[in-house]
Amino acid sequence: MIRNVILFTLGAVTGVLLFRWLLRKFDELVAQARPDAIVSRVARSAQNAGDQVADFIDDVRVNTRRRESELRAELGMAPVLDPDEVVPQARRQA
């Protein structure tokens, strides 16, 4: 008899805890599906993509100038800029 009461109580407590955990997970999913949360995620992704494109363009610009200086040095021409002194444009704005 006491064993049955203990098992019943244990099952009830487990059920309540499981229900509360599932309810919290469901609330988190609902919060992620709200329009303002979706807009925030899209804006963050767009900002990250823009930053990556800007970094890529800066890398291309620096490496192009560096290679141009190497070619000018090989041909005996004066270099346009010292490639180590080139400051990426996106970094200047910050």
Is 75 within the bounds of a domain?
Answer: yes
- Locate 31 and state its tokens: 């919060």
Indicate if 26 and 51 belong to the same structural domain: no
Is 66 within the bounds of a domain?
Answer: yes
Domain coverage including residue 13: 1-33
Burial letters for 59-68: b for 16+ Cβ neighbours within 10 Å, e otherwise? eeebeebbee
Q: State how far the Cα of 84 lies from the Cα of 94, in Å rounded to an integer.
A: 19
Domains in the chain: how many in total? 2
pLDDT of residue 88: 55
pLDDT of residue 3: 92
Which pTM does this prediction carry? Answer: 0.52
pLDDT of residue 73: 87
Give pLDDT < 70 ranges for the chain. 79-94
